[in-house]
Amino acid sequence: MTTVPAVAAATPPSAGGARVLTVSSNKGGVGKTTVASNLAIYFRALREELPVLVVGLDDQHTIDRMFALREPRPGDGNLKHGFSERSFDRVAQLGQYGVHFVPSPPDLIGLKARAEDIGTLRRIVDRTVWDGVILFDTKSDLEALTQNALVAADRVLVPVSDWASLEEATKIFGFLERVRPGAHKARVLLTLADLRTRIDGPASDLRSRLETEVKARGWPLHGTMLSRSPRVEALNSATERPLSILHHARGTPIHRQLKDLAEEVLGDLGLGAQTPYAPPPAPARRVVVSRGREPERVADWKELFMRSLRRIQR
Ligand SMILES: Nc1ncnc2c1ncn2[C@@H]1O[C@H](COP(=O)(O)OP(=O)(O)OP(=O)(O)O)[C@@H](O)[C@H]1O
Ligand SMILES: [Mg+2]
């Protein structure tokens, strides 16, 4: 069951070269951050040469804890600098698993004012030289920063785990339709719904009920669904640094489901197996610079990625 349009319908990359995926739901705790951060890791694993940049737009710093390879240093750029510089070129930092991330600012004060024009983030993306994927993980609201991330996206992934999040999804679909009628860039991802949750009525489990309702509303639905997994709960909460599902949940249903979802999303973004990703010949353009330090060149990613993999496998 796949209702997601095929690769042919995928949008072209931004002027800066990036394909943009935003994970968003106005409802809290539906798995946005888990999906965004783990999809980033699967993207890298499936397409080793594909640059992947994750940007967290909330104030929980989960992305930093998951990906940072080192302690913050004076002079490191963060999301606020990205907004003032109108580009993520300088502030993107190489992280665990070869995934880049934009460090979170200490607070979001002042950013909302900068984001009042909801096209701001799209312009930042367009000015960022990034020939890969940029993933935005949004806060559970529909305020200015989230609206920016929705406008900037080529695809919006809307996790739905229960009836309340389904109702909240209506707001995202409504917002996108108002901004650009007919664009249809949002897709629902059923997540956290437990097949064992029985309910009364024609569809006797929660997941089937939600699936039926999503289809009735005419919303595109990802063929892959993510189940509730005690393993994921443990990976996210047992240590300070959330651990990757790819490396630490082998043999579980969610491990396979995330791989299927990653392939589905890559295809939807025009980066599927049918359209092989061709990395640009001169990666030296993409340089991660921190003030007062030697730049880390993109060519170093692979070595650091392999080093982090070896550390994980030990
Ligand atoms: N597939 C899953 N199985 C079990 N638990 C999960 C799964 N996905 C996420 N969780 C847990 O659900 C909780 C919420 O997940 P997460 O932080 O990813 O959601 P969120 O939508 O980003 O939340 P917020 O709205 O606060 O940003 C966390 O405790 C996480 O460990
Ligand atoms: Mg979150």
Give me the CATH number covering residue 274: 3.40.50.300
Asked whether residue 114 is domain-assigned, the answer is yes
The neighbouring-strand residues paired with 288 are: 296
Distance between CA atoms of residues 212 and 210, nearest Å? 5
Q: Is residue 172 part of a domain?
A: no
What phi and psi values does residue 249 have, to the nearest 5 degrees? -130, 30
168 lines ligand 1 (CB under 6 A): no
Is the shortest distance between the CB of 229 and ligand 1 below 6 Å? yes
Mean pLDDT of 139-165: 97
Residue nearest to atom 25 of ligand 1 (CA): 28
Positive or negative, the Cα torsion across 53, 267, 30, 25? Answer: positive
Angle 187-190-193 from CA coordinates, rounded to 5°? 165
Residue 7: what pLDDT? 34
- Is 181 contained in some domain? no
User: Can you tell me which atom of ligand 1 is nearest the CA of 34?
Assistant: 18
Name the closest ligand to CA 31.
1
Is 226 within a domain?
A: no
What's the CA gap between 211 and 209, in Å, rounded? 5
Residues 6+ apart with CB under 8 A from 241: 65, 66
Query: pLDDT band at residue 136, thresholds of 50, 70 and 90?
Result: very high
Task: Report which of residues 309 and 234 the model is more confident about.
Answer: 234
pLDDT of 305 higher than 70:
no
Helix (H, G, I), strand (E, B) or coil at 106: coil
Structure tokens at 221: 């639905």
Are 134 and 124 contacting, i.e. CB atoms less than 8 angstroms apart? no
| Radius of gyration over every alpha carbon of the chain, rounded to an integer in angstroms | 19
* Residue whose CA lies nearest to ligand 1 atom number 14: 29
Looking at the domain assignment, is residue 23 inside a domain? Answer: yes
Q: Residue 278: which domain range?
A: 14-159+236-297
161 lines ligand 1 (CB under 6 A): no
Among the atoms of ligand 1, which is closest to the Cα of residue 237? 31
Q: Is 12's pLDDT higher than 70?
A: no
Query: How far, in Å, CA of 178 to CA of 152, rounded?
Result: 15
Residue at 214 is within a domain: no
Average pLDDT over residues 120-148: 97
Nearest CA to ligand 1 atom 23: 29
Percent of the chain beyond pLDDT 90?
70
Total domains, the chain: 1
- The rounded Cα 71 to chain-centroid distance in angstroms is 23
Q: Is residue 252 included in any domain, yes or no?
A: yes
Atom in ligand 1 nearest the alpha carbon of residue 236:
31
Tokens of residue 5, six digits: 């349009």
Chain CA centroid to CA 286, Å: 21
29 occurs within a structural domain:
yes
Quick one: which H or E segment has residue 173?
helix 163-179
Q: Which of 71, 30, 44, 312 is nearest to 168 (CA)?
A: 30
Mean per-residue pLDDT of the chain: 85
Cross-strand partners of 160: 190
- Cβ of 232 less than 6 Å from ligand 1: yes
SS3 33: helix
Mean pLDDT, range 142-152, rounded to an integer: 97
Count of beta carbons in the 10 Å neighbourhood of residue 294: 7
pTM for the structure as a whole: 0.86
